[in-house]
Structure 1
Amino acid sequence: MSQPTDMAAFVRIVETGGLAPAARDLGLTPSAMSKQLARLEARLGVRLLTRTTRRIALTPEGETYLARARDILALIEAAEQDVTAGRGRPRGLLRVNTGTAFARHRLIPLLPEFFVRHPDVTLDLSVTDRRVDLVSEQLDILLRTGPLGDSSLLARKIAEGRRVICAAPAYLARRGRPAAPEALAAHDCLVLRGQARLTAWPFRTAAGLQTLTVHGTATTDSAEALRDMALVGLGIIRVSGFIVARDIAEGRLVPLLEDAHVSEEVPVWAVTAPGRHRLPRVQAFVEFLVRHAAAW
């Protein structure tokens, strides 16, 4: 067995969760797959997996090897695509992570068309509003809004939007409508937990550009939950416009302080690790999103 083949077999065992399903995928018997893994571990001199009758788990050495193996296999795939350009089409498993609001309001509605165009691609979509490390979690693409921090990664802007401040009519009827930015100090302003920059709301005032640090009775780690809190009248929120565009259009939420609010651009980025950006399935997915972003 070649080393790349051993790597691919090991990665497939991890991805499928066991020797038997990995063997079926690769056209081998479970016994042959077990022997291949044993040869790989013997060559490396370490255990990569711990195995019981019910599950497998990565050892610390296995976690390190998995990260490097996936990167190496991605580079091999990209190299093969370079020399056979135009002869194949995107295929394989695509790992994507994004936030809850972007997934619900932008990404998921597009997926049926993507799979029609690229039937040989499968998707593993993880959705969370916490900060995710693309490399350590072995993702192909990280879709994120706002500023980016890690310059070692490759980022392509696929869209941009604006933030909006809004609240439900029920909240405004109970607490009154803020007539000026400073009035927010007397209101419940709901924010995402752990993202300090989103608690500083920028405004144009007579004294120039100012940011006000807001407070409220509730926080959450989900942008979608933040919208839901506003809808039931818990307070005022400041979010990307695409999250609440339909709610505002249909009167469930009311925009506030539009003349004073500095609604800065909110870029949407497709972030990839060096090497993986050249994978055909990664390129196809990013280009697909860019084409559709013009209509957002």
Structure 2
Amino acid sequence: MDNYSQLLAFIWSTECGSFSAAARVHKMTPSAVSKLITRLENRLQVRLFQRGSRVLTLTEEGAAYLRSAKAVVDAMNEADSLAEALPSRVSGTLRLHTMTSFAKHQIVPWLPEFMDLYPALDVEIQLGAQFVDHFEQGLDIAIHSGVLPSSSRIAKRIGETQWLICASPQYLAEHGTPAVPADLLQHRCFNFSFVSPWNKWSFLQDGEGVSVPITARASFTQGDLLRDMALSGAGIVKLADFHIGLDIKAGTLTPLLEAFTTGVVEPVYLLYSDRKHLSPRIRVFIEFFQEKWRQHPWKLS
């Protein structure tokens, strides 16, 4: 930073005509300005001013250096002006990781409106059923539900979801409706193909917790494929209300065993890496979608 101070003192002195005048204008002592110029000349190993007169006169080398020095200061001022605009500029690429089902049903419906508000901002959505910390590789935001691994990331609870057992009216008409949790063992059920608490079908029966050991006839890495199987009338699935809420409201899926629900809800978190220096693209996404999700639009009641 001392090199930049030397450069400024040199420019000020040429503009003001003397070290003392430059010192007065910029609230410094004449000796401080003189020392900065001396250090600059020693560093460059060239004399910039002709000494011996009351008026500062540039040497030939000093005149050449003045042009370069002004170009440096102009570039610094331009960089500072650009930096001052950064906190309010919404541009670049927002990188988001979330569950396929959440992206499809709770982000994509509002994404066109968001993009219209911020036309200079591109959105890249990465999909995966489970949270993986990719913030060091440029990820901006992650949205996931359930119990998250311990980390230093900021986690904002944006809502909660409930997992529902359901099937299509067509399947129930052909195979009957389970009356108690144990009846599920006589039905065709589907699950996720990875190890997950979502594969545990738990209920509350006679005041006690009951877990039914479902044997999945088919399993999938994506909830949307489970939903497709249920909608086709193939069998029974367990999915989140943010995923199948509209299907239940439309009557294309029917919730089952509601009298035996545990009432347990699963939090939905929005994660990002830094609370203090939040970039504009992350801030506007959080504000926009939090407003959309404020009333938990996927809730059935």
TM-score bucket (shorter structure): 0.5 to 0.7
SS of 1:292's equivalent? helix
Provide the C-alpha distance between the structure 1 equivalents of 2:247 and 2:87, rounded to a whole number of angstroms: 46
Go from structure 1 to structure 2 and tell me whether the alpha carbon gap of 1:102 and 1:189 turns closer, same or farther (over 3 Å shift).
same
Q: Distance in 2 between matches of 1:136 and 1:234?
A: 42
Task: Note the 1:122-161 alignment, pairs <5 A.
Answer: 122-135=122-135, 137-161=137-161
Matched-pair contact (CA < 8 Å) for 1:158–1:269:
yes
Superposition deviation, residue 130 in structure 1:
4.8
Do the aligned residues in 2 keep the contact of 1:187 with 1:216 (CA within 8 Å)? no
CA distance in 1, matches of 2:155, 2:279: 15
1:261 aligns with 2:261: yes
Superposed CA deviations along residues 36-64 of structure 1, whole A, max 9, x for unmatched, are xxxxxxxxxxxxxxxxxxxxxxxxxxxxx
Residue 13 of structure 1 aligns with which residue? none
8 A Cα contact 2:98 2:131, kept in partner: no
Aligned residue number for residue 230 of structure 2? 230
State the 1:194 CA deviation.
0.8
Percent identity (aligned): 33
The answer (yes or no) to whether the contact 1:199–1:213 under 8 Å persists in 2 is no
Provide, for residues 137-176 of structure 1, a one-character-per-residue CA deviation record: whole Å limited to 9, x for no partner: 5311111122211332221112222221100122212322
| Correspondence for 1:90 | 90
Letter in 2 for 1:283: R
1:278 match: secondary structure: coil
Could you tell me which residue of structure 1 aligns to residue 249 of structure 2?
249
Match of 1:219 in 2: 219
* SS of equivalent residue, structure 1 residue 90: coil
Amino acid at match of 2:90: P
Q: CA deviation at 1:259?
A: 0.9
Give the distance between the partners of 1:86 and 1:137, measured in 2 at CA. 22
What is the rounded CA distance, in whole Å, between the counterparts of 2:137 and 2:213 in structure 1? 33
Which one-letter code corresponds to 1:223 in the other structure? G
Distance 1:275 1:250 in 2: 40
8 Å contact from structure 2 (residues 88, 280) kept in 1: no
Tell me, in whole angstroms, the C-alpha distance in 1 between the residues paired with 2:222 and 2:289.
Answer: 23
Q: Deviations over 1:203-246 (max 9, x none)?
A: 11115122223222100001111100111122111111121122
8 Å CA contact 1:190–1:216 kept in 2: the answer is yes
Shift of 1:136: 5.5
1:172 maps to what in 2? 172
Q: Aligned pairs, how many? A: 216
Q: Which stretches in structure 2 are left out of the alignment for 5+ residues?
A: 1-79
Distance 1:173 1:135, change over 3 A: same
Corresponding position of 1:286:
286
1:67 counterpart residue number = none
* In 1: Cα distance, 2:226 partner to 2:186 partner: 19
Larger radius of gyration, structure 1 or 2? 2
Please state whether the residue corresponding to 2:88 is helix, strand or coil. Answer: coil
Aligned residue in 1 for 2:200: 200
Cα gap change, 1:200 to 1:120, in 2 (>3 Å): same
For residues 159 and 207 of structure 2, the distance between their equivalents in structure 1, rounded to whole angstroms, comes to 32
Residue 101 (structure 1) shift: 0.9
TM-score (norm: length of structure 1): 0.66
Question: Does the aligned pair in 2 maintain the 1:164–1:240 contact within 8 Å?
Answer: yes
Q: 1:277 to 1:105 in 2, by over 3 A?
A: farther
Matched to 1:220, the amino acid is F
Cα distance change, pair 291–92 in 1 and its aligned pair in 2 (3 A): same
Gapped runs of 5+ residues in structure 1?
1-79
